[in-house]
Every structure is written in structure tokens, then in C-alpha cells.
A and B are shown apart, each in its own frame.
Chain A
Amino acid sequence: MTIKSEPFVVNVGPQHPSTHGVFRLRLTLDGEKIIDADMVMGYLHRSMEKLAEERTYTQNIPFTDRTDYVASMTGNLAYVMAVEKLMGIEVPERAQFLRTIMAELQRIASHSMALGIFANDCGAWQTPVMHMFRDREKILDLFEMACGARLTLNYMRIGGVSRDIPDEWIPQAQKLMEDLPKRFAEYEDLLLHNEIIVARARGVGVLTPEQAMAHSVSGPMLRGSGVAWDVRKADPYAAYDKIDFDIAVGTNGDVYDRFVVRLAEMRQSLHIIEQALEVMPGGPVHERLGTATVQPGGQSIAPLAFRPPVGEAYARIESPRGELGYYIVSDGGPSPFRFHIRAPSFINLTPLKLMAIGATVADAIVILGSVDFVVGEVDR
């Protein structure tokens, strides 16, 4: 029965189980159909970009942990790459490989969480999340071995990484590399071909490549729309140019394709890590800066305060969520003059309205889950 009903405004969030944090979506509904969708952001705004202008370059690294707190390795990496570019520092080979390995491990961990939460948004009662978290825990264990932290890692340093990995790290990582393919096969078996997930995700939240590019979308969302674009291939950084891997793309641009792309990327990440572990050379893991003062224990390689030359630099990497870029302007002082983050979570959310209109409430939640945003990064 089609009934002309009153437009009905529903606020999804800021306190809601599906907004992955404090994000607010204002939906105008006609029955169950969405006729308008507005995003309200800023509930988690911590003014990081401004705060960073008052701190030294080294002190800013922990901020990058806390923007995208689900993938702090990549946040670190993008920032230190920007500063290195600004100062013209060459990073040692081993550090490049360590960065690559860590970034890919982080990608697996982040995608695990994204897929689990996505299945949760499809209505699974926590089971996929818990299974995915099992893998994520193993990866966080590896991080803990390498740098002592599990979530806010603060591992990358300007000129390298904070410390070399311990001896038992590589065997443990290799053991994980052996386990994970079995798990991925299990997920593909249980989720990829799950009739209900297919029914919920296929044809929902379609984004054509034109729309995606017009909205400057990046990462798995762009690849889900069928555009083979990956910063790791297009503009290689760290050790990616020495490694052999593929870009996973979808063909329909719907929620299911984003899901499929993430699953495939996790396998590619494994592939990358395996190669990197094999060919990783020895040597130092950090480049000493000219004015460096070695701190007790030799942990920190960059001094607390140094002054890069006047200039600006933009470094971008492929974070689990998309193209993460740091734009830094230096006025020659000890802290950045301008510190800007191109946050993929934020930009990937922009076509949300486009995808949500015409869908149902349940679809909107699934679409939101497929964007895989982290509110810390959206609001910074």
C-alpha cells in the first residue's frame, strides 16, 4: 500500500550503535524510504590541526596516532613522510621495509575491523566482529612487540622508525602469515557467499566512477566503484616499488563491491608482507638528524626540537581508508606553520547523501558501514 505520509525526520546518532563513534546522520524519511540525508559532524573535534601548530614536529607524531585511531601506523607514516620530504631526509632501506610491513599489517587489522563492523551493520550479532578481532589481536600483539603499544603506536619517527624489531618478531609474523590465509578463506566462505549479506549489499549504495571521482573519493570505496587507483602503485612510497602486488577492484560500485575489495586487499597485504619479510635488508632503522641528541637507550632519533627549512610539503599514502595526505608548511620555526590532514574518512563520507537517497533506513546503516570511517579522522 503506498500511502503518502508525512516526512519523518530521524536522527541517527550522535549516540547510536551504528555510527561508530559520535557521528550524526539526520535522515528524512518517507515511510522507510530516505528522501534526504544530512551529515552533522564535529562531535569529536579536538582541534588537532591548530594544536599541531603549537608543538614541535616530533611532538606532533602522537597526534597522528589519534586522528585515525584504528590505523595509527599509517597516520604516523604519512606525517613523517611529509616532514622528511620537507627536510629532504633519506630514510634507510630497512626502515622503509619496516614501514611497509607495519603499514600492511595495519591495513589487515583495520580491514578486519571494517569487515566485522560491516557484517554487524548487516545485522550479524557480533559474531563476525569477534572472529575478525581474533586476527586483529594477533597483529596488535606484533605491534606491541615492536613498539610497546597496541593502539596508539607512535612507531614511526622522522627519519625512520623508533626502534628495530626484536629477533623473535619475524618468526611470529611468519607464523601469523601462515595462519591468516586459512582465516581469510573462512571469511570468504562464510561472508562473501552468504545469501543474506549478498541480498543486503548487492545493488545498495551504488556510486559510479564518475560520481566517486567527482567527490574525490579514494581507497576501497573508489576501487569498489571500479577505478584501479592506489597510491601505493600510482605514487610509490616506502618500499612498495620493490614489491609485487595487485590492485583489487570491483565492478558494480555497490556496498558489496567495497566489501569484496577489502577482503581481496587483505590477501594482497599478506602477499606484500611475505615478500617484504623475505627481502628486508639489515642495517640501521633510522637516519640521524644533524642536530640529533641521542637520548638514553637510543630510542629516539629525532631531537625534540629542530627547524626544517622554510617551505611546504605534501605527502600521501594509501591508508586503509584511502588517500591519507599530510600537508605541512614550515616558516623555519620549530613547529609547523600550517598542518593540514587530507582525511580519507571525511572525504569518503561526502557522497553519502548521494548514496542514501532512495534507500531505506536499513540500507543507510549498511552504506555507512561500507564507508568505513573513523570519527576521529573525520572530525580531527
Chain B
Amino acid sequence: MEDTGTVVAFWIFAAITVGAAIGVAAVRNLIHSVALLIVTFAGLAGLYITLSADFIAVVQVLIYIGAIAILIIFAIVLTPRAGRHNQESFMLLPALALAALVAGTMIFVAFDTNWGAQRSEGFEGTATAIGDLLLDRYALPFEIASVLLLSAIVGAILLVRPEGPEEEAE
């Protein structure tokens, strides 16, 4: 990936993604944190486009920004009396150390390993191929994923179901 457009795009999106992610962890206000999380997701979508993964990029926007960020917002709004802060618990230092350790290890591995032969071109339109794979080779995982989603929906509804029969009427 040497053409100038891609290189520039990568650096911009990487800066946005990592910067916003650090912001997510650092800002004091939980809502600001969620707003920055959305920026992180958008930056990742940009990174996917530089990786010529157009389908995944669009799905990233659709699911992460359009659905998961909203779920997180709901989690905040539905708990009105809980704190809206973004503080750390007493685990601050160990967590920081562990995170630094993990990041260091992974970066070291990334540079240390020989990843073998490299493809030079990106993909041309991935949606059809992904669809074929999903319904052909990965049909079983696909079905399992649907069952998982269904059970997650049912589980979520069961968890927050109102207790007591008097509210059942609603």
C-alpha cells in the first residue's frame, strides 16, 4: 500500500481512532466518552476502507454506530440515578500496567514475527464473496450465530421483564 492517498488516509484514520480511543478512557464525563467512542468506531470504519473491506466498513457504521452505541446510550439513560462519571476504581494502576504490558507485547510480536507472503492488491467488492462464504462454507456458524442472537434477545427481555403479575398487564 504505497499510493499517497491510502498512506495519508491511514495516518489520518489511525490518529483519529487511537486518539479518540484514548479520549474514551480519559474523559471524565460518560456521555463525552460515548461520543468519542462513536468517533473511534467511525475512524475504524475508515481504516477498514483503506484495507479495501467495504462491506465490513459499512457494517461497522451500521452496527457499531447505529446500534451498539445506541445501546450504550440507553444503558446510561435508563439508569438515571447512577453516576454519569467515568472514574477509575482502585484497579487503576494494575490495569494501566497490564494494558501497557499487553500493548507492548503485541507490538513487539507484530514487528518480530515474519508474517510471510504479502498480498499487494486489495479486494474488489467483498459483499458478494462474503455472502457466498456465509451461506456455503460457513453455513453452520451462520446458523449458530442466528441462534445466539435470538437467545440473546430472549435473554435480555427475560432479564428486564417486570417482576410481579400486576405489571404484566401492560
Partners in one complex: yes
Which of chain A's residues have a CB closer than 8 A to the CB of B78?
Answer: 3, 5
- Chain A contacts with B in 101-124, Cβ cutoff 8 A: none
B160 contacts A3, C-beta separation under 8 Å: yes
Q: How far is the CA of A1 from the CA of B160 in the complex (A)?
A: 7
Contacts of B162 in A (CB 8 A): 2
Docked CA distance A3–B170 (Å): 12
0/1 per residue, B149-161, Cβ < 8 Å to A?
Answer: 0000000010011
Tell me the bound Cα distance from A2 to B157 in angstroms: 10
Are A6 and B80 touching (Cβ within 8 A)? yes
Confirm or deny: B2 has a beta carbon within 8 angstroms of a beta carbon on chain A. no
Which listed residue, A2, A3, A6, touches B81 by the CB 8 Å rule? A6
Is residue B124 within 8 Å, beta carbon to beta carbon, of the partner chain? no
Expressed in whole angstroms, the Cα–Cα distance for A5 and B81 within the complex equals 9
Binary flags per residue of A149-173, CB closer than 8 Å to B gives 1, else 0:
0000000000000000000000000
B3 contacts partner chain A, Cβ-Cβ < 8 Å: no
What are the residues of chain B within 8 A of A1 when measuring CB–CB?
157, 160
- Asked if B121 is at the interface of the complex by the 8 Å CB criterion, the answer is no
CB contacts (< 8 Å) of B167 on chain A: these are 2
Residue of B nearest to A3 (CB): B78
A5 near B80: Cβ-Cβ < 8 Å: yes
A238 to chain B, nearest CB (A): 52
Which residues from chain B contact A2 at a C-beta distance below 8 Å? 160-162, 167, 170
Question: Residues of B contacting A5 with CB < 8 Å?
Answer: 78, 80
Which residues of the other chain, A, contact B170 by a CB distance below 8 angstroms? Answer: 2
- Contacting residues of chain A (1-36) with chain B, CB-CB under 8 angstroms: 1-3, 5-6
Instruction: Enumerate chain A residues within 8 angstroms of B161, measured Cβ to Cβ.
Output: 2
What's the least CB distance linking B87 to chain A, in Å?
22
**Shortest beta-carbon distance from A360 to chain B in Å:** 13
A1 to B153, CA, bound (A): 12
CB-nearest residue of chain B to A1: B160
Q: Which residues of chain A are near B160, meaning CB under 8 Å?
A: 1-3
List, in ascending order, chain B residues with CB within 8 A of A6's CB. Answer: 80-81
Residues of A within 8 A of B81 (CB): 6
- How far apart sit A2 and B170, CA to CA, in the bound complex (Å)? 8
Bound together, the chains give a CA A153 to CA B78 distance in angstroms of: 54
Q: How far is the CA of A2 from the CA of B162 in the complex (A)?
A: 6
The B-contacting residues of A in range 71-124, CB under 8 angstroms, are none
List residues 304-357 of chain A with CB under 8 A from any CB of chain B.
none
Q: How far is the CB of A37 from chain B (nearest CB, A)?
A: 20
- A3–B75 alpha-carbon span in the complex (Å): 11
Contact with A along B12-28 (1 / 0, CB 8 A): 00000000000000000
Whole-angstrom distance between the Cβ of B166 and the nearest chain A Cβ: 11
A4–B161 alpha-carbon span in the complex (Å): 11
In the complex, what distance in Å separates the CA atom of A2 from the CA atom of B161?
7
Closest to B168 in A: A2
Task: Name which residue of chain B comes closest to A6, CB basis.
Answer: B80
Tell me how far the C-beta of A120 lies from the nearest C-beta in chain B, rounded to whole angstroms. 30
Give the distance in Å from the alpha carbon of A218 to the alpha carbon of B13 in the complex.
68
* C-alpha spacing A5/B80, complex, angstroms: 8
Chain B's nearest CB lies how many Å from the CB of A168? 62
Q: In the assembly, what is the distance between CA of A133 and CA of B4, in Å?
A: 65
Which residues of B, 98-142, contact A by the 8 Å Cβ criterion? none
A49→B14 CA distance, assembly (Å): 74
How near does chain B come to A193, taking the closest CB pair, in angstroms?
Answer: 30
Question: Chain A residues with Cβ under 8 A from B157's Cβ?
Answer: 1
Distance in Å: Cβ of A152 to nearest Cβ of chain B: 49
Complex Cα spacing A1 to B78, Å: 11
Known: A1-B160, A2-B160, A6-B81. 10 other contacts (CB 8 A): A1-B157, A2-B161, A2-B162, A2-B167, A2-B170, A3-B78, A3-B160, A5-B78, A5-B80, A6-B80
13 residue pairs of the A-B complex, CB under 8 angstroms, read: A1-B157, A1-B160, A2-B160, A2-B161, A2-B162, A2-B167, A2-B170, A3-B78, A3-B160, A5-B78, A5-B80, A6-B80, A6-B81
Which 6 A-B residue pairs are closest in the complex by CB-CB distance?
A: A2-B162, A6-B80, A3-B78, A1-B160, A2-B167, A2-B170
Q: Mark B residues whose CB is within 8 Å of A.
A: 78, 80-81, 157, 160-162, 167, 170
Question: Could you list which residues of chain A lie within 8 angstroms of chain B, going by C-beta atoms?
Answer: 1-3, 5-6
